[in-house]
Amino acid sequence: MTKKLFWDDPYLTACKAQVTSLEGNKIKIDQTIFYAFSGGQESDDGTIGGMKVVQAVKQGDRENIIDIEYELEQEPPFRVGDEVEIKIDREKRLKLMKLHSAVHLAYFFITEKFGTMKILGSNITPEKSRVDFESAKPLTELNDVETKLNAFLAEHHPIVRTRDEKSPDLLWWQCAQWKMPCGGTHPRNTSEIGKLRLKRVGKGTEKERVEIYLN
Ligand SMILES: [Zn+2]
């Protein structure tokens, strides 16, 4: 099982690890800071042993990442047992962290105004995050949701990660009165997110999309 250092310290941008498996240009390591696409959050960009990672694939279910396999740009010169250095793009990671907590918080403020709705999907990239709702009514007038959300962010609320007692590889995300299972990476305080901008994108009958941007 790959040890996920990004859960304990999501601000790490470099670490050393040992190669545990190697098949052509596909590699596994004993521990990692390099996030693999999961729960809607995009993979990090970076290198392993100086070689560019072209794809990071998690093995496990939605919130429970068991192993991560990295595909390198070409077959690496190193072998199983070798020590390698992992580096990730810091700017991209910070944006993903902010926009991931942002999408959770936006969800709570949106449902506070419009009522509970079924989530059809969500996605987090360094440019924006989005959440799709099943909703018969259009989610217009997002301005006051945005104002309340930004006021909340400015109140310096801690964002806490806790491990599930029954399953130590399952993580919870917690902020103020809200809690949900989440295997993503998050900042430690809402003040790090800064200000957010919400944009409604109508997606047709009974489907509403809200996009979230860092300001
Ligand atoms: Zn999440």
pLDDT, position 23: 96
Q: Report the C-alpha gap between 174 and 185 in whole angstroms.
A: 12
Q: Give the mean model confidence (pLDDT) for residues 150-164.
A: 95
Find the DSSP H helices in the chain: 5-8, 90-114, 143-153
pLDDT, position 188: 98
Compute, in angstroms, the gap from residue 71 CA to the centroid of ligand 1: 24
Per the model's pLDDT, the better-predicted residue between 34 and 2 turns out to be 34
Cα-based distances in Å from 142 to 146, 148, 164: 6, 10, 34
Q: At 203, is the pLDDT very low, low, confident or very high (cuts 50, 70, 90)?
A: confident
pLDDT, position 78: 94
Q: At 168, is the pLDDT very low, low, confident or very high (cuts 50, 70, 90)?
A: confident
Compute, in angstroms, the gap from residue 74 CA to the centroid of ligand 1: 32
CA atoms within 13 A on the CB side of 110: 29
Give the tens place of pLDDT for each residue, 97-124: 999 999 999 999 999 999 999 999 999 9
Q: Report the C-alpha gap between 63 and 183 in whole angstroms.
A: 5
Compute, in angstroms, the gap from residue 41 CA to the centroid of ligand 1: 8
- Return residue ranges of the chain for CATH 3.30.980.10: 92-214
DSSP string, 123-172: EE-SS-EEEEEE-SS-----HHHHHHHHHHHTT--BEEEEE-SS-TT-EE
Instruction: Tell me what percent of the residues of the chain surpass a pLDDT of 90.
Output: 83
pLDDT, position 136: 84
| Ion ligand 1: protein residues whose beta carbon lies under 5 Å | 182, 184
Compute, in angstroms, the gap from residue 89 CA to the centroid of ligand 1: 20
Q: At 170, is the pLDDT very low, low, confident or very high (cuts 50, 70, 90)?
A: confident
Residue with tokens 């996920």: 4
Give the tens place of pLDDT for each residue, 58-79: 887 655 557 899 999 999 999 9
pLDDT, position 65: 59
Compute, in angstroms, the gap from residue 36 CA to the centroid of ligand 1: 13
Per the model's pLDDT, the better-predicted residue between 1 and 158 turns out to be 158
* For residue 169, pLDDT beyond 80: no
Compute, in angstroms, the gap from residue 113 CA to the centroid of ligand 1: 21
Compute, in angstroms, the gap from residue 131 CA to the centroid of ligand 1: 11
- Return residue ranges of the chain for CATH 2.40.30.130: 3-88
Q: Report the C-alpha gap between 11 and 74 in whole angstroms.
A: 28
Compute, in angstroms, the gap from residue 90 CA to the centroid of ligand 1: 19
Q: Report the C-alpha gap between 194 and 213 in whole angstroms.
A: 11
The amino acid at 156: H
Q: What is the CATH number of domain 92-214?
A: 3.30.980.10
Compute, in angstroms, the gap from residue 121 CA to the centroid of ligand 1: 11
Compute, in angstroms, the gap from residue 155 CA to the centroid of ligand 1: 21
pTM: 0.93
8 Å CB contact between 156 and 86: no
Compute, in angstroms, the gap from residue 101 CA to the centroid of ligand 1: 7
Cα-based distances in Å from 65 to 7, 59, 61, 167, 176: 11, 6, 6, 11, 26
Q: Report the C-alpha gap between 129 and 52 in whole angstroms.
A: 25
Least confidently predicted of 62-66, 91-95, 131-135, 175-179: 62-66
Query: Which of the four CATH numbers 1.10.1740.10, 3.30.565.10, 2.40.30.130, 3.10.20.440 does domain 3-88 have?
Result: 2.40.30.130
Compute, in angstroms, the gap from residue 117 CA to the centroid of ligand 1: 17
Q: If DSSP codes are grouped into helix, strand and coil, which group holds residue 14?
A: strand
pLDDT, position 63: 52
pLDDT, position 123: 96
Mean pLDDT across the chain: 93
